[in-house]
Amino acid sequence: GVTKHARHKKILKAAKGYQASSGRNYKWAKEALMHAWSHAYRHRRQRKGDFRRLWIIRIGAACRQHDTNYSQFMHGLTAAGIEIDRKMLADMAVRDPAAFERLVALAKTD
Amino acid sequence: MAHLAPMNNGCVRYICQLKRLTLQYCKNGGSSRGIREFLSETVAQFAKENPHLTVYVRQRPGRHPRIVAEFLSGNSRVVSVKNMSVEEVAGHISLLRTSSGIKTVKLAKPWHTDNPSIQGNWTPFLYK
């Protein structure tokens, strides 16, 4: 029927690119999409933690090149009153290593 | 660095990027009331004031009204003017007239820079 076709078409369009029956068959597409949507919901929340973990790894790697480690570095930053967030610190470690070196020096003082 | 107009339009000479407007409305629908009023009052003068634009008026019975704008770049934008007043319709049309033809696209990041690294990116040999 017309309405059924319209409803199914919407689901199949959302399942474009899915492998095998999930991309062709309405029944399996609906199942695949339910999983996909619940994963997307959960991972939108996890993404915030995932990125923070990535930034911390990068900051740790960068400050180990300058004879500290991540925990000493962050402690030194808070002691120096520097409030730059981990996202920017990781970005600086990659794009502006000279400035990052200065931050490490600041964190090491006293 | 402030975002410049595309192709520096307006720095020396301003070229209106809107090429064609198609106003689609319904003769009897309630949602078309605003655009019908716009068509009866303002559209003729608007078309006269903007000779570089072609304005088409098309009847679409039984459907909600919309404005289809086509730009010099080949992009098109469709604005639904369902249940809008005359002022709102005129506002949307002037927005289309003054817009560049860039497609409205969701920004991946809220910032943009052409030079993310001034002194050069980190390389493995930087602190060796």
pLDDT, tens digit, 9 for 90 and up, residues B29-60 = 999 999 999 999 999 999 999 999 999 999 99
Average pLDDT, chain B: 91
Using a CB-CB cut-off of 8 Å, the residues of chain B touching A98 are 119
* Closest Cβ–Cβ partner in B116, B118, B122 for A93: B122
* Closest Cβ–Cβ partner in B118, B121, B127 for A94: B121
What integer pLDDT is reported at residue A78 of this predicted model? 95
Alpha helices in chain A (DSSP H): 2-14, 21-24, 26-64, 70-80, 86-95, 97-108
Mean pLDDT for B1-15 is 73
What integer pLDDT is reported at residue A68 of this predicted model? 95
Residue A32 banded pLDDT, cuts 50, 70, 90 = very high
pLDDT, tens digit, 9 for 90 and up, residues B56-114 = 999 999 999 999 999 999 999 999 999 999 999 999 999 999 998 889 889 888 888 88
Residue A59 at interface with chain B, using a CB cutoff of 8 Å: no
Which whole-number Å values give the CA distances from B11 to B94, B100, B103, B112, B113, in the listed order?
A: 20, 14, 22, 22, 21
What integer pLDDT is reported at residue B127 of this predicted model? 84
What integer pLDDT is reported at residue A20 of this predicted model? 94
Contact B89, B38 (CB under 8 A): yes
pLDDT, tens digit, 9 for 90 and up, residues A91-107 = 999 999 999 999 999 99
Structure tokens belonging to residue B123: 């390389």
Structure tokens belonging to residue B89: 């319709």
Enumerate chain B positions whose Cβ falls within 8 A of a Cβ in A: 116-119, 121-122, 126-127
Q: Looking at the predicted complex, does its ipTM rise above 0.90?
A: no
pTM of the model as a whole: 0.70
What integer pLDDT is reported at residue A75 of this predicted model? 96
What integer pLDDT is reported at residue B2 of this predicted model? 54
Average pLDDT, chain A: 95
What integer pLDDT is reported at residue B86 of this predicted model? 95
What integer pLDDT is reported at residue B104 of this predicted model? 87
Instruction: List, in order of start, the domains of chain B with CATH numbers.
Output: 34-98 (3.40.30.10)
Residue B105, C-beta contacts closer than 8 angstroms, at least 6 positions apart: none
Residue B1 banded pLDDT, cuts 50, 70, 90 = very low
Whether A94 sits inside 8 A of B122 (CB atoms) is yes
Whether A93 sits inside 8 A of B116 (CB atoms) is no
Whether B117 sits inside 8 A of A96 (CB atoms) is yes
What integer pLDDT is reported at residue A54 of this predicted model? 97
Give the span between the Cα atoms of A91 and A81, in whole angstroms: 20
Whether B121 sits inside 8 A of A93 (CB atoms) is no
Whether A96 sits inside 8 A of B126 (CB atoms) is no
Whether B122 sits inside 8 A of A66 (CB atoms) is no
CA distance A95 to chain B (A): 4
Residue B4 banded pLDDT, cuts 50, 70, 90 = low
pLDDT, tens digit, 9 for 90 and up, residues A52-95 = 999 999 999 999 999 999 999 999 999 999 999 999 999 999 99
